[in-house]
Chains A and B, each alone.
Chain A
């Protein structure tokens, strides 16, 4: 067991090192930060001085080693664009993205399961065919288009919701939250729908097909034969049995909600890490880009690691295998 965990952790560290290596080797193709850091009246001497200070002319392995060894101590360097420590900037921006991801995840799960059950039970009904058709639109339209459409409908035409930003936020011990103000909650609605729409339709279709499968099972028929109420059959017996794959998929989708947030954040000028990353690419802000990519890979690797460890906890066969090998 212990050996298995150690092996998995070591593998995760290796993955992180490789991600860092790949990311760093790509930065040189993104462009040169110098032109963004200096104005048009700069001299050749200014360029050379700054290149030297930033270590841009160092060989690639040296730059990579510098970054990784500092990152291991939690120091991601100074942003080229803002001239402030990258870790400070990331901490400032993280609450916006995490709150957005949480709300859109909640939206996706609630409506995904709700609509999934509805369309499975009322197969062929007007409402469920409408929902199914709309969900096709949701899957096939690109995120930025959905975002812009929602803005034009609800902000420009109807004037109900803000067109951009996070509204007013409240600071609670270094965490800026939009949950406590009316404008903050209003601002969450459109970006959450935009970001969660794809996941919602995914969950909906998953729940629907699982439901249809389960509803054909013998135990459902027996439940019906026992004269149980329709609601009890649908929700207590059928839905419960469909949730296992749904939970697995939802867990894995959580990571991609955060990663997909880049586009939604750009459309809504949502001040999260995704927008920060886009800014960083345009500006060739290498420390921010590197830190963001490392953070995302830590997140994915972490989720995978937890899932793997959970498997070990749940599945006794894995445990016995590894303990035998240990002897």
Chain B
């Protein structure tokens, strides 16, 4: 009742009154937990962004803006960051938000049980200055630290202690798995895992509500055809994603709109850089040609990305030239063109490398991870055949795919990467740095790509405060990776959402669905 009155009051003062409304949306995956520190996936963090809040948050254009912190500034000469907290904020259960909750959430989110602990790798400690000021000290100057914690969500220390949920749990039952108590615009009114989750506006939210939703129901619908039917029949107001093959048909329906954007995810081919021999194909056991940069460059020239986008992605994606998409911070503008499609040049490069007669190898590919991933790999196989190299495709469900890559069972593989920090440093750390478990570097660099200059630049990039100098170093790394064809980047994956035509919403490139920007007309 209170929320209704508040919504009505706000509507009267701020904007022409819009009728308050129920909203129902669906996605393929259910967030597996309500615990913001237990699982670091888009499904969980995207959903919980409506319920919990961080010190900072991302706006409609992905820029960092104040949330639970009103302001922040660097301490001294890059010793860390000081955050000034918002006063008068309450959690959904009514308790006050203070610095104590920030300290607690830091301990919780950086604990070994948490899946978010890598965010805090650069953090040396967190100290409370007063009730509404905290210092986060970093081991080295860290200019992008505020950017990197937009998904670090603050949990109430008292609530966690009362419910024995001081640490996140994945393999045990925990109060915070099913229940939530954030400061966000919506609170969880009911949760049935795998079935539906009901959100209601939080009446005492500190910020002004833009939405007119009185009750929102989320339902996971796994089968894409069912989701499309549910949208068309009006049972659901919004679905994510729309299957690519249905997008054109849906956008012709007068009751439905397709909202299209570019996701942060870059799809690329990776290579076995260090393996001595080929592991698959008829040339199994022969010396590994991908150690030769010319062979990798040949692959880059052999792939007709526009053709893939035109046919398989039906014009819904854009070519990628580097490990991040143009909308990310730190994108190298001068290197925005990917190697041209040029089979002649590719054949010449192969001949120069001593493979004029081609060779045969194995390409590993997931078939349920990225949009139309297997079809893309099939297209890659036929394009490589044009320059005389034979790829034997092995496509598999993602649940078996990562273990294969970790075991180095590939000659070439398909990978998609979406930088959690929305910064070009992120893929360098995970995909290009020489793997080093201790320093937590290169953990997704399955092909063991290694370049001393890249390894040398990475810590400098991480600690450079000056934006121009930092960009120059990022450009240098991007140029090295492009020249050496460390990865052959293909395209930036599209985002396709479907909504009823009376829904106004904002699509963010991180594929997070933010309920507080929804208006039901």
- Which A residues are within 8 Å of any B CB, using their own CB? 29-33, 35-46, 49-50, 53-54, 78, 80-85, 89, 92, 148, 151-152, 155-156, 159, 162-165, 266-269, 271, 275-276, 278-279, 282-284
Chain A residues within 8 Å of B400, by CB: 29-32
3 nearest A-B pairs in the assembled complex, by CB-CB distance: A39-B40, A31-B399, A31-B400
**Interface contact B40-A35, CB-CB below 8 Å:** no
Known contacts A35-B399, A35-B403, A267-B223; 20 additional CB pairs below 8 A are A30-B400, A31-B397, A32-B399, A35-B402, A38-B39, A38-B115, A39-B41, A40-B444, A43-B117, A43-B118, A43-B443, A45-B112, A45-B437, A54-B171, A83-B169, A83-B170, A148-B226, A165-B219, A267-B226, A282-B368
**Interface contact A156-B222, CB-CB below 8 Å:** no
Chain A residues within 8 Å of B39, by CB: 37-39
**Interface contact A80-B226, CB-CB below 8 Å:** no
**Interface contact A159-B172, CB-CB below 8 Å:** no
Please report the C-alpha to C-alpha distance between residue A33 and residue B171 in the assembled complex, in whole angstroms. 12
Q: A148-B229, A269-B223 are in contact. Are A40 and B170 (CB under 8 A)?
A: no
Chain B residue nearest to A31 (CB atoms) is B399
Chain B residues within 8 Å of A82, by CB: 32-33, 177, 193-194
**Interface contact B233-A269, CB-CB below 8 Å:** no
- Which B residues are within 8 Å of any A CB, using their own CB? 32-33, 38-41, 112, 115-119, 169-174, 177-178, 192-196, 219-223, 225-226, 229-230, 232-235, 368, 397-400, 402-403, 417-418, 420, 430, 437, 440, 443-444
Of B33, B232, B397, B437, which is within 8 A of A44 by CB? B437
A–B complex contacts, Cβ < 8 Å, 20 sampled:
A31-B399, A31-B400, A32-B400, A32-B402, A35-B403, A39-B41, A41-B40, A78-B173, A80-B170, A82-B32, A83-B173, A84-B178, A156-B229, A156-B233, A165-B196, A267-B223, A267-B226, A271-B192, A282-B368, A283-B32
Q: List the count of A-B residue pairs having beta carbons below 8 Å apart.
A: 151
**Interface contact A279-B118, CB-CB below 8 Å:** no
Chain B residues within 8 Å of A49, by CB: 112
Please report the C-alpha to C-alpha distance between residue A165 and residue B221 in the assembled complex, in whole angstroms. 9
Please report the C-alpha to C-alpha distance between residue A89 and residue B170 in the assembled complex, in whole angstroms. 16
Q: From residue A227, how far is it (CB to closest CB) to chain B in Å?
A: 56
Q: A40-B40, A41-B420 are in contact. Are A83 and B171 (CB under 8 A)?
A: yes
Please report the C-alpha to C-alpha distance between residue A83 and residue B177 in the assembled complex, in whole angstroms. 7
Of A36, A40, A50, which is within 8 A of B171 by CB? A50
Q: From residue B487, how far is it (CB to closest CB) to chain A in Å?
A: 16
**Interface contact B115-A282, CB-CB below 8 Å:** no
Please report the C-alpha to C-alpha distance between residue A231 and residue B382 in the assembled complex, in whole angstroms. 68
Q: A41-B119, A45-B437, A282-B399 are in contact. Are A163 and B193 (CB under 8 A)?
A: no
Chain A residue nearest to B426 (CB atoms) is A41
**Interface contact A269-B225, CB-CB below 8 Å:** no
Of the listed residues A37, A40, A89, A152, the one surrounded by the most CB atoms of chain B closer than 10 A to its CB is: A40
Q: From residue A102, how far is it (CB to closest CB) to chain B in Å?
A: 20
**Interface contact B194-A279, CB-CB below 8 Å:** yes
**Interface contact A84-B399, CB-CB below 8 Å:** no
Please report the C-alpha to C-alpha distance between residue A160 and residue B403 in the assembled complex, in whole angstroms. 46
**Interface contact A83-B174, CB-CB below 8 Å:** yes
Chain B residues within 8 Å of A155, by CB: 229-230, 233, 235
Q: From residue B420, how far is it (CB to closest CB) to chain A in Å?
A: 6
Please report the C-alpha to C-alpha distance between residue A283 and residue B30 in the assembled complex, in whole angstroms. 12
Q: From residue A245, how far is it (CB to closest CB) to chain B in Å?
A: 36
**Interface contact A163-B233, CB-CB below 8 Å:** yes
Chain A residues within 8 Å of B32, by CB: 81-83, 283
Please report the C-alpha to C-alpha distance between residue A37 and residue B117 in the assembled complex, in whole angstroms. 14
Chain B residues within 8 Å of A30, by CB: 399-400
Q: From residue B380, how far is it (CB to closest CB) to chain A in Å?
A: 23
Q: A32-B399, A43-B440, A164-B221 are in contact. Are A78 and B233 (CB under 8 A)?
A: no
Of B117, B195, B399, which is within 8 A of A46 by CB? B117
Q: From residue B238, how far is it (CB to closest CB) to chain A in Å?
A: 14
Please report the C-alpha to C-alpha distance between residue A46 and residue B418 in the assembled complex, in whole angstroms. 20
**Interface contact B440-A269, CB-CB below 8 Å:** no
Please report the C-alpha to C-alpha distance between residue A319 and residue B170 in the assembled complex, in whole angstroms. 54
Of B115, B194, B398, which is within 8 A of A271 by CB? B194
Q: From residue B231, how far is it (CB to closest CB) to chain A in Å?
A: 9
Q: A31-B400, A156-B232 are in contact. Are A269 and B222 (CB under 8 A)?
A: yes
Q: A39-B40, A41-B40 are in contact. Are A163 and B437 (CB under 8 A)?
A: no
Chain B residues within 8 Å of A282, by CB: 368, 397, 399
Please report the C-alpha to C-alpha distance between residue A12 and residue B440 in the assembled complex, in whole angstroms. 51
Chain B residue nearest to A96 (CB atoms) is B195
Of B225, B403, B440, which is within 8 A of A32 by CB? B403
Q: From residue B24, how far is it (CB to closest CB) to chain A in Å?
A: 10
**Interface contact B229-A84, CB-CB below 8 Å:** no
Please report the C-alpha to C-alpha distance between residue A38 and residue B44 in the assembled complex, in whole angstroms. 11
Chain B residues within 8 Å of A78, by CB: 171-173
Chain B residues within 8 Å of A40, by CB: 40-41, 417-418, 420, 430, 444
Please report the C-alpha to C-alpha distance between residue A189 and residue B225 in the assembled complex, in whole angstroms. 19
Q: From residue B190, how far is it (CB to closest CB) to chain A in Å?
A: 12
Chain B residues within 8 Å of A284, by CB: 399
**Interface contact B229-A269, CB-CB below 8 Å:** no
Chain A residues within 8 Å of B172, by CB: 78, 83
Chain B residue nearest to A166 (CB atoms) is B195
Please report the C-alpha to C-alpha distance between residue A31 and residue B169 in the assembled complex, in whole angstroms. 22
Chain B residue nearest to A283 (CB atoms) is B399
Chain B residue nearest to A89 (CB atoms) is B193
Chain B residues within 8 Å of A80, by CB: 170-171
Chain B residues within 8 Å of A164, by CB: 219, 221, 226, 229-230, 235
Chain B residues within 8 Å of A276, by CB: 194
Q: From residue B175, how far is it (CB to closest CB) to chain A in Å?
A: 11
Chain B residues within 8 Å of A162, by CB: 233, 235
Of A42, A44, A50, A85, which is within 8 A of B40 by CB? A42
Please report the C-alpha to C-alpha distance between residue A155 and residue B33 in the assembled complex, in whole angstroms. 31
Please report the C-alpha to C-alpha distance between residue A30 and residue B401 in the assembled complex, in whole angstroms. 11
Of B194, B234, B444, which is within 8 A of A159 by CB? B234
Chain B residue nearest to A53 (CB atoms) is B171
**Interface contact B173-A163, CB-CB below 8 Å:** no
Chain B residues within 8 Å of A54, by CB: 171
Q: From residue A94, how far is it (CB to closest CB) to chain B in Å?
A: 13
Chain A residues within 8 Å of B235, by CB: 155, 162-165
Of the listed residues B40, B195, B444, the one surrounded by the most CB atoms of chain A closer than 10 A to its CB is: B195
**Interface contact B229-A271, CB-CB below 8 Å:** no
Chain A residues within 8 Å of B234, by CB: 159
Chain B residues within 8 Å of A148, by CB: 225-226, 229
Please report the C-alpha to C-alpha distance between residue A271 and residue B219 in the assembled complex, in whole angstroms. 11
Chain A residues within 8 Å of B220, by CB: 269
Please report the C-alpha to C-alpha distance between residue A296 and residue B499 in the assembled complex, in whole angstroms. 39
Please report the C-alpha to C-alpha distance between residue A162 and residue B26 in the assembled complex, in whole angstroms. 15
